[in-house]
Amino acid sequence: MKGPHASNSLYLGRLIKEHKKSAANVVKVVIVSLISVTVASFFFMGAFSPSMFDKLAGKIVLSIVGLMFLLPALFGIYMLIRGRGACLSLYENGLIYRQGGKESTTTWDEVESLYSRCKNYHSHKIRAIGERPHPAGHLR
């Protein structure tokens, strides 16, 4: 491995598996976006049709509904652009996540430490909830 990724992956050991963005997910997002744009275009055509010439309230309602149908398409396109080139590489001693020219490296020890802190926090939270006095007072 050459470039900036080589130094980070040296201490992580041997590459076990690399996961890249699935082409099937991209196709799903494109299909949903196309359907969304098509439905939105029907609402916009209705809003600006000759029969709606003097009906301002109808134009506003149809335009708002059309915009609501455009939101999934815009969000899908945003996610495709934002997530392009994303890659997760699993190594013997950790993992590297790459996206948009940025790289995040962590070891399995760091993952385990975070997991144990979260586990301790939630178990402590559950014990604290369980120690509350019973609503009926002395009855338990």
73, 110: one domain: no
Query: Final residue of a domain: which of 63, 82, 101?
Result: 82
- How much of the chain is in helix, strand and coil states, percent to nearest 5? 60, 15, 25
- Check: pTM over 0.85? Answer yes or no: no
**pLDDT digit string, tens, across residues 14-41:** 888 998 877 788 888 899 999 999 999 9
**pLDDT digit string, tens, across residues 66-122:** 999 999 999 988 888 887 778 899 999 899 988 877 888 989 888 888 888 887 776
75, 26: one domain: yes
Query: What residue numbers bound the domain in which 135 lies?
Result: 1-21+86-140
30, 66: one domain: yes
76, 91: one domain: no
What distance in Å separates the CA atoms of residue 101 and residue 103, rounded to the nearest whole number? 7
Dihedral angle of Cα 105, 110, 116, 120, to the nearest 10 degrees: -90
* Under 8 Å between Cβ of 95 and 88: yes
77, 30: one domain: yes
Domain total for the chain?
Answer: 2
73, 117: one domain: no
40, 90: one domain: no
